[in-house]
Amino acid sequence: MTSTIRPPFTMETALAKVQAAEDAWNTRDPERVVLAYSKDSEWRNRTEFLHGRAAIRAFLTRKWAKELDYRLKKELWGFRDNRIAVRFEYEWHDDAGHWYRSYGNELWEFDLDGLMRRRYASINDAPIDEQERRIR
């Protein structure tokens, strides 16, 4: 599998890569999202370290079972060659109806086919009231 958006990135292609990631994650479909990552992709997500598509798929399935009505917004922070840095925020609620806004930064590295081979994410959660939501 390959991606149509491949490194080295330009401003235009980096912005398109970030938007494609946002669009895919907002589907909350692990089967679709996992296709953007190389088969041997490495992740750090908070305190979890994942390796490979099967682990990523399982992680995303757990994530979206817990983080209900998840909505994400990503913003390009910088890029160079085969790397992109983004900041993001997303909103979700748990099964008790408590809302959160999660903030973070990600560092992405891509292979020559445009698949993400490394993703390092640092994320913090802040409780919010439902009326404070700004991502819909």
pLDDT tens for each residue of the chain, 136 residues long: 678 999 999 999 999 999 999 999 999 999 999 999 999 999 999 999 999 999 999 999 999 999 999 999 999 999 999 999 999 999 999 999 999 999 999 999 999 999 999 999 999 999 999 999 999 8
Specify the pTM.
0.95
Rounded distance between C-alpha atoms, residue 20 and residue 58, angstroms: 21
The pairs formed by 103-110 with CB atoms below 8 angstroms and a separation of 24 or more are 105/77, 107/83, 108/83, 108/84, 109/82, 109/83, 110/3, 110/6, 110/7, 110/82, 110/83, 110/84
Identify the pLDDT of residue 1: 66
